[in-house]
Structure 1
């Protein structure tokens, strides 16, 4: 059991943290409001952290929280964790921080953890027994059992049926896909598909029931005749549907209050009993269960006194039981003061015959408005006060019978005061909604406009925001589960005292900074919210802002959640605009460099033309817009044409280009006209007047007009035939034997290597290698053989020069060694063309040569290995006793 901070004085102002999936709505908002009331009554402040990202798509919540960062854990003194706000692993990690923890509707990770839950079992039991009282015996259940509360409600439903002698059927269980309206629609589809086996249902949530009722009515069912419904939550939406929804009020505010009482006890070092701490629930009866009207909170019990009726009314329609909201403050509780203000004028009229004073009635109206009554509170008040009137009149003694008219007038005056209070509360709610819409419009316009100040400075907050706010953005891109670093980039503070926080580096566990939470006023209705600044895939940081929790909205979409999502969008837009501005600046700089380059080219153009004239180059000028080309006299002379033979069309040049070079030249010219930034430089062959082709070097630059479009192509044509032929000869000599013209050893090895790679890629491919070596005759002395060898070499070369087939290669690989690569021989052994060549060599030259043949190169490592194997075969051939065989086939 955690007993951290034992002995802390009760007067010390502490900070209580709340971790909740979202921080608004009738459930989460009511819990947080209850926490705030209890903490405020004890003189403490509250920080409520939303653990789910802002801007969730249509409330399709993930199964678990996405918050892995320990937000605010280092800056709070105690922690209330609301169900599903953290994964079990993160919840276990939170306990390691040593902060006292109390859970709300969550499975504990340690047996010592206290868990506060609404009385799910008691509320459902009362609802089921109420339906049985109406005569229903086939009672179903609809809900999603993913959460602890829903599982408890389902178990209580089955237990209550069994206690009343009803055996539940599996077909009576209608699974909902979630806790929202859509889940109820899905459950209604299952009920209709099963043939409507039930006459009544218990809905796990009000929102399930709302969707369920609407779906059944859309299919023609009449409610509650065809299907009675009782739900759980007492959300305002249940009072807006038809028929109005009977429901169980779980008093979520009281659950939050109870969690704070337990947490404060743990913070003081007191022992708190582990396990469940339940808060009583109340059945609110409307028309959906089959009742014709909203009954009195007394449930029709005639034995209750008038004051007891009013107490039940305050408990049902105006909030929780007396004493829970501010048990540690002196003076009466607000609800206690309300029911006294209702009962005392009626009792005074019964005892003394005097009506209530105007000041008392005005105070009653004020108290009624302050309690924020539920929508049906006025209707219940009429029923209850008329019942109180009847009982007071009936209880009058004979001596006071004349006070009966005063009692009736007093009850009427009290009803008018209560009506004013309820009306004032509804008008205040309408005004609050209107202000919320106006504030939201201001935020939308400021954040989405994109041309105002940076959203980081929080200047977009509405003018009506009087509290403090602080924005912290993550530093770096690390998204791990550790304590992430962040920087405070903006604050909202009317006093200016928090401006020093801007630029401060901190961590998520220390956010919001203590200076922000300490700035709040003790006892005010505001608390500090912390909401992730997220939208889609963006995760910017955290927004801390002071405000009042929204408890009456059916949708858990409070304004701070919406603001955080819009802020993430605005920050995304700001980053995008900054990137676009940088790109625009880079483009402007590039355009300036291009203009400067164009000016340089234009200036150098004239110098280049003069230099060309001095060098006697053939210049040409292609006017792109006119489609004509000026060919200088030198250009025409270079090709041997007279001046009048060549016109001014591009075809005069292009049609004389060698067919093998025409496509390359056309592509190069097209690239220049398309805006290629590099000058054209290309060697190609052009036909002269004699019909021969000569090699020409073409160089050209593009001249742009004022609009930056190509206007002219200016260049030269220089005869480079001698140099080009010398280069070709050098290339040929580098790869061919200069004496025989055959491929040399280097090129032959390269082609053999290529053939080896092909054999590895294709199982059907193979090639053969023949090695021919000029040898001396056995009877001829070595010194005399040199006279014969040149003739033998010439004959071998003559035979090898005869073409075999395209793809075959003959080479001289040594002084006396020649080789033949026969391509693509397949699996049929030595091809005919190679056999014919070897037969001619044996016939014409005889024993003065030795031949070795490899019929396959498959499996060889490299080209050197191939030649080595061929040489081994040739040596074996030389050692044979019959030299006339001449060939060894491996």
Structure 2
């Protein structure tokens, strides 16, 4: 591979290791990434960890496939580590073509011939089942979800171990869970309870399954471990806080990550690393849930360790074995499993515990305060688990008892030995307490940071969330935000635009506004900076929430390996950022809508004022001229139509008779019922005068708008005797009113549609592209930057601007086809939607050539040749605006 050849040529170069992981936090994924980061940093390399599943997952229900399409960060790394289910299997099979060495963690090897690092699942489960058998259990069940490789191996090991002990599994002993979390364990417990609890002990494939299993059994009234003994797998802190505390298998996930780095660096150096399975040792951690009365750790079986050979006495060797793997988390390591540095640290700590005790027994000497302080420091650095101190006390007190038994009765060294043992235990207590206090402080700071981030992102005020000013003020690490933009460079390789950075040095600010394919994100300026305080680990998270997918957030940080949930703070930040960006877009849309509504309201008010003034003018004119009057004698059934009434409709004096039908039969069919109802209301005693607009047919056959106003005259009995009124021709005013209404959606000066109507048509076109793959449109944005050379010079600047706009609109109208839309967006900015363009782009060229016949035409043109990549009209219009800005920045010909 190209990556291996590069590694063979330069063995000491600083490398960037890429990690593809479903999520980047929690006791499993986070611990794996922390192990990778620690091993890489020890050799001077950096790590980019990419989360391939959405941020803000709903209760950690992972989808069947990752959200992100590899190759995210592909070009930015020298080698790749893929953690289980981070990449679709069809993409995983093609990773040989990427030109970079690959190491897998707990992934099926059948799709890619590469080294696969896994925990010792078989050894851990076998030790757990052996322990349960020693407790007298012969009906031992298993719960777990076999969707992932590690779980399948654990189940197979369970079946094998049963067979080795001559146990044939009974019906209902295996309960498949829907997931690896608490809910799956709770559902498995419900099924076993419904089946009458056929087992007396259970091995859970994960601690989280075990936690849900235990809680469900306790809720049903069972007493554990009396009614059911349980052993989990993962060694989470949640298990250590249960009552009874959960016995478990520690897979040492950090060692797995370290071994993966070791294999990957070997491949980068050009060494031959065979494809196959590489296992990191597991440890059985005994607590109370299995039926044991005290919390102890199983000793290492490797007694060939030189450290053990150093002590000839049986008590010291036994103490070393019990202390060797008891109670420690991320920094502990089995011999040879994750590097010389960890082995030396482990050996140094063991000597600091055992040497002073054995020396006190042999010589009666007391350790100095400095050495005791160093022991406390060494213990603190190794980050012990919650039950560690309990294990230390038991092991050290047993050592004290054994050594005391070797001394003569009444020896003066016995009090010294007891004093030294107490001092050692006090130092160990300090070392165990400090990490708990530090973690408490860390959690408090995390809550404070999260509160600060929540308020800044959800407040919706101040600077845009794109600027990353919402990051906690105490953070000094670098960060970079890239939002999706443009087209895919290659399948799955989208383009991102860097819109915000967080960097106290200022070196990253030059990246703002640049675009890069996702395969080159995060930029090398972020991953290879190596500045003061850099962790050497860059986390890349998708900025997603619900149906929103904005882009990628890269941030220099660390992972929390003690959280049982995979939702670390960075995952939460990415989800909140997506919500804030959604809110920003919504607020921008609302502002635009409010502005449009204000403009429409202003036009409506102007229209109402115009109509009111027109009505007053026409009413006064009618009253003055006494035109179009009519008088209906209700009792006689005859109507008098004045000469002016007849002339208004184009008839002579003798052409109109005296019946009511002369009028009603000429009324437009759509208006006839309304007029009849209004007349009937007058005859029925309506309190208000008749006033109605309607259309009447003239002698030419055309219809004209008439305003009919009339009052009812009552006789002495109070009954309607006459209806007297006037008919006023209001055609011109009505047409003017309709024109004004049409102008509410059109620009009055140019007659083009306004921004609201244009966006509506553009949005409809985008939706149509999704329904029809053969349909596409183009968007052309025009901006008048100077008067075209072919226009005469005008003395009046305002008139000159109007003349330029009219010329642009005239040129547009010449080339627009049926279905096209042209709009005036701003004072001197126009947009054109070319409907149903062909693949040759001829119509686009014709439009550009028409409005910009030469380089000095004074018109800047931005072309969006297709609208298919865009989700909505606003996004497409922004793309056209960017194209226009780019066109304006290019030098004009002279």
User: TM-score scaled by structure 1?
Assistant: 0.70
Residue 603 of structure 1 deviates from its aligned partner by: 3.7
8 Å Cα contact 1:52/1:67 also seen in 2: yes
Q: 2:316, 2:358 within 8 Å by CA — same for their partners in 1?
A: no
Summarize deviations over 1:34-73 as a string: whole Å, max 9, x none: 0011001111001111010001100111122222241101
Q: Once the 2 structures are TM-superposed, how far is the Cα of residue 525 of structure 1 from its aligned partner?
A: 4.0
Structure 1 residues 438 and 247: CA distance shift in structure 2, 3 A: same
1:4 Cα deviation after fit = 3.9
Q: Shift in Å at residue 577 of structure 1? A: 0.5
Worse overlay, 293-302 or 160-169: 293-302
Contact preservation (8 Å) 2:259, 2:337:
no
Q: Cα gap change, 1:683/1:483 in structure 2, threshold over 3 Å: closer, same or farther?
A: same
The 5 A counterparts of 1:483-494 are 483-494=493-504
Q: Check if 1:460 corresponds to 2:470.
A: yes
Q: Which residue of 1 aligns with 2:364?
A: 353
Question: How far apart are 1:242 and its partner, in Å?
Answer: 1.4
Correspondence 1:45-60 to 2 at 5 A: 45-60=46-61
Higher Rg of the two aligned structures: 1
**Do the aligned partners of residues 159 and 325 (structure 1) sit closer, same or farther apart at CA in structure 2, a change above 3 Å counting?**
closer
Structure 2 residue corresponding to 1:316, chosen from 317, 326, 334: 326
Deviations 1:524-576 (A, max 9, x none): 54511000000111110000001111100111110000000000011011111
Query: For the structure 1 residues 248 and 326, does the alpha-carbon distance in structure 2 shift closer, same or farther, using more than 3 Å as the test?
Result: closer
Cα 1:597/1:508, change in 2 over 3 Å? same
Does residue 584 of structure 1 match 2:584?
Answer: no
Asked if 1 retains the 8 angstrom alpha-carbon contact of 2:247 and 2:286, the reply is: yes
Give deviations 1:91-131, integer Å, cap 9, x for gaps: 12333111110000001245630000000000000000100
In the TM superposition, what is the alpha-carbon distance from 1:444 to its structure 2 partner?
A: 0.7
SS at match of 2:116: strand
The corresponding residue for 1:683 is 695
Partner of 2:650 in structure 1?
none
Q: Which residue of 2 aligns with 1:381?
A: 392
Confirm whether residue 293 of structure 1 aligns to residue 294 of structure 2: yes
Matches within 5 A, 1:393-792: 393-396=404-407, 401-476=411-486, 481-521=491-531, 525-612=535-622, 616-618=626-628, 662-665=672-675, 682-683=694-695, 698-700=705-707, 717-718=727-728
Say whether 1:218 aligns with 2:219: yes
Displacement after TM superposition at 1:580 (Å):
0.5
Contact 1:15 1:78 in 2 (8 A): yes
Deviations along 1:784-827, one digit per CA (max 9) or x if unpaired, are xxxxxxxxxxxxxxxxxxxxxxxxxxxxxxxxxxxxxxxxxxxx
Contact kept, 8 Å, 1:527 with 1:547, in 2: the verdict is: yes
Matched, 1:327 2:339: yes
Alignment-derived partner of residue 29 in structure 1? 30
Report if the CA contact (8 A) 1:361-1:413 is conserved: yes
- Cα offset for 1:299? 9.2
- In structure 2, the CA distance between the partners of 1:213 and 1:636, relative to structure 1 (3 Å rule), is farther
Alignment check: 8 A CA contact 2:248 2:286 kept? yes
- Taking the TM superposition and a 5 Å limit, the aligned residue runs for 1:264-275 are 264-275=265-276
SS in 1 for 2:507: coil
Correspondent of 2:378 among 367, 385, 390: 367
Aligned to 2:150: 149
* 1:296–1:258 Cα change, 3 Å: closer
Distance 1:479 1:303, change over 3 A: farther
Q: Distance in 2 between matches of 1:430 and 1:589?
A: 57
- Tell me, in whole angstroms, the C-alpha distance in 2 between the residues paired with 1:568 and 1:479: 24
Cα shift at 1:222: 1.2
**Residue matched to 1:164:** 165
Distance 1:719-1:138 versus aligned 2 partners, 3 A rule:
closer
Distance in 2 separating the partners of 1:78 and 1:474: 25
Distance in 1 separating the partners of 2:59 and 2:400: 48
Q: CA deviation at 1:605?
A: 3.8
Cα deviation digits, residues 570-624 of structure 1 (max 9, x gap): 101111110000011111111222222233334434443455457653489xxxx
CA distance in 1 between counterparts of 2:450 and 2:545 reads 17
SS in 2 for 1:27: helix
Does the aligned pair in 1 maintain the 2:89–2:111 contact within 8 Å?
Answer: no
DSSP 3-state at the match of 1:291: coil
- Kept in 2: contact 1:249–1:281 (CA 8 A): yes
1:279-319 CA-partner distances (Å, limit 9, x unpaired): 11100001111111213544999995425533542423124
Distance in 2, matches of 1:142 and 1:387, equals: 36
Sort the Cα spacing of 1:568 and 1:214 in 2 relative to 1 into closer, same or farther, 3 A: same
Deviations 1:67-87 (A, max 9, x none): 224110110001110001111
For 2:110 and 2:726, locate their aligned partners in 1 and report how far apart those are by CA, in whole Å.
Answer: 86
SS for the counterpart of 2:429 is helix
Instruction: For 1:203 and 1:527, locate their aligned partners in 2 and report how far apart those are by CA, in whole Å.
Output: 33
In 2, the alpha carbon distance for the partners of 1:550 and 1:700 equals 80
Query: Relative to 1, partners in 2 of residues 1:618 and 1:419: Cα closer, same or farther, differing over 3 Å?
Result: farther
Cα contact 1:368–1:418 (8 A) shared by 2: yes
CA contact (8 A) 1:176 1:186 kept: yes
Cα-Cα RMSD = 3.4
- Residue in 2 that maps onto 1:86: 87
Q: Distance in 1 between matches of 2:212 and 2:491?
A: 38
1:62 aligns with 63
Conserved in 2, the CA contact under 8 Å of 1:250 and 1:281? yes
Counterpart-to-counterpart distance in 2, 1:333 and 1:406? 29
1:451 Cα offset (Å): 1.6
The structure 1 residue matched to 2:354, chosen from 332, 343, 346, is 343
Q: Contact (CA 8 Å) 1:297, 1:380: kept in 2 or not?
A: no
Q: In 2, distance between residues paired with 1:187 and 1:619?
A: 92
Measured in 2, the distance between the counterparts of 1:325 and 1:560 equals 30
Contact 2:299 2:325 in 1 (8 A): no
Q: Report the more deviating stretch, 384-393 or 415-424.
A: 384-393
Alpha-carbon distance, 1:321 to partner: 2.4
Q: 1:10 to 1:532 in 2, by over 3 A?
A: same
Q: C-alpha distance in 2, partners of 1:701/1:439?
A: 73
CA distance in 1, matches of 2:642, 2:201: 103
What is the CA distance between 1:663 and its match in structure 2? 2.9
Would the aligned equivalents of 2:41 and 2:536 in 1 still touch at CA under 8 Å? no
The 1:440/1:359 distance shift into structure 2, 3 A limit, reads same
1:3 to 1:296, Cα distance in 2 relative to 1, 3 A = closer
Change (3 A) 1:167 1:664: same
CA-to-aligned-CA distance 1:731-762 (integer Å, 9 cap, x gap):
xxxxxxxxxxxxxxxxxxxxxxxxxxxxxxxx
**2:396 match: secondary structure:** helix
Query: Are the aligned partners of 2:24 and 2:559 in contact in 1 as well (CA < 8 Å)?
Result: yes
Distance 1:668 1:360 in 2: 108
1:225 CA displacement: 1.2
Cα distance, 1:699 vs structure 2 = 3.1
Q: For 1:105-144, what aligned pairs fall within 5 Å after superposition?
A: 105-109=106-110, 112-144=113-145
**Residues 697 and 273 from structure 1, CA distance in 2 versus in 1: closer, same or farther, beyond 3 angstroms?**
closer
Contact 1:311 1:339 in 2 (8 A): no
Q: How far 1:168 moved relative to its partner?
A: 1.4
TM-score (norm 2): 0.70
